[in-house]
């Protein structure tokens, strides 16, 4: 059986890092097994779903390199849902209910007050056809509940959480269809997973209770449930659930200079016992992806760590990958010289300005200005060769270490730190370097 996973976002907003992690892990799980990764747009909510979000979801996945092997849209599958729903009606596995939200809340409070589980009491099952006809005549439309088999324990072996056991006698029959005929999440998702041949459902642990009900829905529709795995949700670096994680999306990350390779490298390992390694690309990460390496503890997302990983990625990016992002005139030699000092590609423009000038003349002590005057004289004959220049100055001035190198760096770049001067000086060039040394002296 070909391993087939799916990512099923609702197009009611932009993807955030939690969504992206779910999509990535499903892609990795499929690719690790040589299987298929599908995109399902859960757009049954016509009022909140927007095409601009559908386009953004596709664009975000493409930016990350998570290209789906197929796509479905729930809004195009209503006929399928209706057919399968009618099968459940005929089998007596869904039934009509009329309680209002206020009435249900009152029932819950009464049960809690008696120390009982606050589950639906199935009062609607006592209604006869005459009762239903009377309600229809009065303009009351029913909502529909899926009737759980309360005599059959619900069990599955979760790919992350291990053996799971639920007692359906302590669960409410879930509402699967509203009074206006629209669908809730549970049943269409099951119908789609069957029709799309989904073999593995990997999602957040907030869906565990949904899975318990859906296991019986698969069985009621004559299908074996897929393999389920529920991973711990993301928390912020402070160790608490962060509202920012719910709004931190691709647009914000790109604006901050994050590369897709960095986000993939971090999120692929987040929640596992495996170290984050910027050297590994998506294909290598897929090979090593293993649900057994996931823990039950909340997965901590640290933006500072993401930027550190991003730096590791940037330090390895070839010129061809970044050329279109660099300032005009900046070539491969300049990129390789400044690359080790970058955390984000956008910072290359700052160092390119250092190379091309002009730079501010640094404030220096008199003895350093005299030293730089000697350096200018040496540069005339030596040229833009850092090793030769510093070697000659060490011999003639007796300076060494910081006293030898730092005044030169300040005069040539206006900075106390930066890329290797042996690579930077030739880029600055003999004439510009000479002008800077003379200005500083």
- What pLDDT, in 10s, does the model give residues 281-332? 899 999 999 999 999 988 899 999 999 999 999 999 999 999 999 999 999 9
Distances (CA, A) of 383 to 387, 397, 398, 438: 11, 18, 21, 14
User: Which pLDDT tens digit goes with each residue over 78-114?
Assistant: 999 999 999 999 999 999 999 999 999 999 999 999 9
Query: Residue 239 has what pLDDT?
Result: 65
Q: Which of 64, 63, 70, 60 is nearest to 2 (CA)?
A: 70
User: Which pLDDT tens digit goes with each residue over 412-424?
Assistant: 999 999 999 999 9
The angle subtended at Cα 288 by Cα 283 and Cα 291, nearest 5°, is 120
Query: Residue 22 has what pLDDT?
Result: 96
> Rounded to whole angstroms, how far apart are CA atoms 40 and 197?
12
| pLDDT at 382 exceeding the cut of 90 | yes
| pLDDT at 367 exceeding the cut of 80 | yes
> Rounded to whole angstroms, how far apart are CA atoms 253 and 208?
30
Query: Residue 246 has what pLDDT?
Result: 73
Residues 59-79 as b/e (b if ≥16 CB within 10 A, e otherwise) read ebbeebebebeeebebeebee
Query: Residue 241 has what pLDDT?
Result: 60
% residues pLDDT > 70 (the chain)? 99
The structure tokens listed for 112 are 């809690």
Q: How confident is the model at residue 242 (pLDDT cuts 50, 70, 90)?
A: low
The four Cα atoms 383, 388, 389, 390 give a dihedral, to 10 degrees, of 160
Query: Residue 166 has what pLDDT?
Result: 97
- What domains lie within the chain, and their CATH numbers? 91-177 (3.90.800.10), 326-354 (no CATH), 357-440 (1.10.10.350)
Q: Please enumerate in sequence order all residues whose Cβ is within 8 A of that of 86, keeping only pairs 6 or more positions apart, or say none.
A: none
| pLDDT at 247 exceeding the cut of 80 | no
Q: What is the CA radius of gyration of the chain?
A: 32
């Amino acid at each position: 059986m070909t391993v087939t996973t799916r990512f099923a976002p609702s197009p009611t907003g932009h993807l955030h890092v939690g969504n992206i992690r779910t999509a990535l892990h499903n892609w990795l799980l499929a690719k690790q097994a040589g299987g298929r990764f599908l995109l399902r747009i859960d757009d049954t909510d016509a009022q909140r779903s927007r095409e601009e979000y559908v386009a953004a979801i596709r664009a975000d996945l493409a930016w990350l390199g998570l290209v789906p092997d197929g796509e479905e849209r729930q809004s195009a599958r209503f006929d399928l849902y209706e057919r399968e729903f009618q099968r459940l009606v005929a089998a007596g596995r869904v039934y009509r209910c009329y309680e209002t939200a206020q009435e249900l809340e009152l029932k819950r409070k009464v049960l809690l007050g008696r120390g009982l589980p606050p589950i639906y009491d199935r009062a609607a099952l006592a209604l006869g056809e005459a009762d239903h006809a009377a309600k229809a005549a009065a303009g009351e439309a029913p909502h529909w509940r899926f009737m759980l088999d309360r005599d059959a324990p619900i069990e599955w072996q979760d790919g992350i959480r291990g053996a799971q056991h639920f007692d359906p006698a302590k669960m409410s029959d879930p509402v699967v269809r509203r009074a206006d005929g629209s669908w809730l999440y549970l049943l269409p998702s099951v119908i789609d997973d069957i029709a799309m041949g989904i073999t593995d459902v990997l999602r957040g642990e907030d869906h565990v209770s949904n899975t318990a009900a859906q296991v019986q829905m698969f069985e009621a529709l004559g299908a074996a449930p897929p393999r389920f795995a529920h991973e711990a949700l993301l928390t912020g670096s402070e160790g608490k659930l962060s509202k920012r994680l719910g709004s931190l999306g691709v647009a914000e990350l790109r604006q901050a200079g994050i590369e897709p390779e960095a986000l993939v490298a971090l999120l692929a390992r987040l929640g596992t016992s495996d170290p984050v390694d910027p050297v590994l690309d998506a294909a290598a990460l897929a090979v090593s992806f293993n649900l057994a390496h996931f823990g039950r503890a909340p997965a901590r997302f640290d933006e500072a760590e993401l930027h550190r990983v991003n730096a590791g990625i940037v330090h390895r990016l070839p010129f061809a990958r970044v050329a279109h992002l660099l300032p005009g005139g900046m070539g491969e030699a300049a990129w390789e010289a400044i690359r080790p000092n970058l955390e984000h590609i956008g910072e290359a423009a700052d160092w390119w300005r250092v190379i091309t000038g002009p730079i501010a003349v640094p404030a220096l002590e008199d003895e350093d200005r005299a030293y730089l005057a000697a350096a200018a004289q040496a540069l005339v004959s030596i040229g833009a060769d850092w090793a030769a220049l510093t070697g000659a100055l060490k011999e003639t001035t007796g300076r060494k270490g910081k006293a030898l190198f730092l005044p030169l760096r300040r005069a040539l770049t206006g900075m106390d730190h930066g890329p290797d001067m042996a690579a930077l000086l030739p880029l600055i060039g003999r004439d510009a370097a000479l002008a800077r040394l003379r200005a500083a002296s």
